[in-house]
């Protein structure tokens, strides 16, 4: 992993959100496959936290990364519940289909600069309807 990251190290121009040039800063290529399993685990863990249901092997998770949150996505997710952890450290929005509860969407923002999303979907599309099969029960 160190070699993969260090080989991508270079200097790039940096700008603020309003376009002010900050000079050159070090940057490196961080292959997405290092982060994808982590983003998936975060989504699955937060799904359990919010809905008290284990997704397990009934679902798969599509993960992606964004340079910023596009205006269309911001508008679509504005009504979703939002949770902030720390001041500007981690913020996320989430939603779940009320009829097909295995379908959920997650938007993650890390340090007000890195964005990722995850979507959970049933492995069997005919099995996505609300059931108690994955409910966690206190015992």
Give the tens place of pLDDT for each residue, 37-51.
999 999 999 999 999
Distance (Å) of CA 136 to CA 71, 99, 122: 37, 19, 18
- Do 92 and 46 meet the contact criterion of CB atoms below 8 Å apart? yes
- Do 68 and 80 meet the contact criterion of CB atoms below 8 Å apart? no
Give the per-residue pLDDT at 34: 83
Q: How far apart are the first and last CA of the chain?
A: 42
Q: Where are the domains of the chain?
A: 1-30, 31-127
Give the tens place of pLDDT for each residue, 90-114.
999 999 999 999 999 999 998 888 8
Q: Residues of the chain whose pLDDT is less than 70?
A: 1-8, 17, 28-30, 127-139
């Amino acid at each position: 992993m160190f070699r993969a990251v260090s080989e991508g190290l270079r200097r790039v121009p940096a700008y603020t959100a309003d376009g002010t040039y900050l000079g050159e800063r070090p940057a490196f290529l961080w292959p997405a496959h290092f982060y994808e399993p982590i983003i998936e685990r975060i989504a699955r863990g937060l799904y359990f936290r919010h809905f008290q249901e284990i997704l397990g092997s009934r679902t798969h998770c599509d993960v992606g990364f964004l340079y910023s949150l596009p205006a269309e996505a911001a508008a679509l997710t504005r009504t979703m519940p939002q949770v902030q952890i720390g001041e500007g450290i981690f913020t996320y929005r989430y939603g779940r289909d009320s009829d097909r509860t295995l379908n959920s969407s997650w938007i993650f923002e890390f340090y007000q600069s890195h964005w990722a999303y995850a979507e959970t979907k049933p492995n069997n599309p005919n099995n996505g309807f609300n059931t108690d099969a994955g409910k966690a029960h206190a015992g």
